[in-house]
Amino acid sequence: MESSLYAAFLLGLVLGVKHALDADHLIAVSTIVSEYQSLKWASLIGAFWGLGHTVTLFIVGLLVIGLRLTIPPRVALALEFLVAVMLVILGAAILWRAFRVERLHIHAHNHSPETHAHFHLHGSTEEDHSHPHPFNSMRKPFLVGIVHGLAGSAALMLLVLTTIPSPLAGLAYILIFGFGSVGGMLILSSMIGIPFIFTAKRFTLLNRWMRIVAGAASIAFGLLLGWEIAREGLF
């Protein structure tokens, strides 16, 4: 019994890493990573995605194991459709930032003895005046991970729970699965972030087009995923 339990835990770890490789996960994280210019924060994006994903799975696991609840097929499809909508929104946000028109700002200038306010146009290629706080920005990948955890792709993990002999072992399996997804996505988001980081300052035009491609891919995949889910009987 112990050997089969250890085998199930090992399987959970492997499946957790594999789960991070799903196309919708990679595309969603790519759109977020493209906005950062630091390998540290790019790595944390994947880690926070995995944490959000694990939190959802743990809560769903508690309900499945403790209350013997099941998710109706139509609800599962609706949760998957939510992922498709999220991918479209993430992609659209990237494209809006990449193509946004010149912005009009008012700056005050001191021309002794008076101070005048002048209008200035700043294009999207100029230096950003904002001062982002990356830790606050980790809320986005965390929430994206929560949505992915709700989606039907996590059903593969919940199916394995039926082979776990006890509730505690089942919850341990979820945590191991989550650890695998956190580690897998941390590594993958670091790898995805490298080209964006490398081109951010030296090849700004290339970086912009890379972000455009990432945004367009997210929208296209989201629309395709939504269409397939709708054909399965959601509406």
Query: What is the DSSP track for 100-117?
Result: PPPEEEEEEEEETTEEEE
Total structural domains in the chain?
A: 1
- State the DSSP H helix or E strand holding residue 199, giving kind and residue range, or none if neither: helix 167-202
Residue entry with tokens 């296209």: 220
pLDDT at 88: 95
pLDDT of residue 163: 64
pLDDT number for residue 104: 42
The pLDDT of residue 131 is 41
Quote the CA–CA distance of 75 and 55 in Å, as a whole number. Answer: 19
Q: Divide the 235 residues of the chain into consecutive groups of 10 and give the mean pLDDT of each group.
A: 68 76 85 83 87 86 75 82 93 86 48 50 43 64 87 60 71 84 88 86 85 92 91 78
- Domain range for 100 is 2-124+134-234
> Is 39 a member of any domain?
yes
Nearest to 29 by CA among 162, 147, 177: 147
Residue 82's nearest CA partner among 56, 58, 100, 61 is 56
Q: Please report the pLDDT score of residue 156 as a whole number.
A: 55
CA distance 64 to 61: 5
- Inter-residue contact 83 to 225 (CB < 8 Å): yes
Q: Would you state the structure tokens that stand for residue 2, as one six-digit string?
A: 């112990």
Does some domain include residue 129? no
184 in a structural domain: yes
Look at residue 41 and tell me if it is in a domain. yes
User: Is 199 contained in some domain?
Assistant: yes
Task: Confirm if 105 and 122 have CB atoms less than 8 A apart.
Answer: yes
The pLDDT value given to residue 188: 87
Residue 223 confidence (pLDDT): 95
Give residue 85's pLDDT: 94
**What's the rounded Cα separation, in Å, for the pair 185 and 37?**
18
Q: How far apart are CA 101 and CA 208, in angstroms?
A: 14
Burial of 39 (0-12, 13-18, 19+ CB in 10 A): middle
Residue 32 lies in a domain: yes
In this structure, what is the dihedral angle of CA atoms 45, 51, 53, 59, given to the nearest 10 degrees?
Answer: -160
Tokens of 156: 């593969």
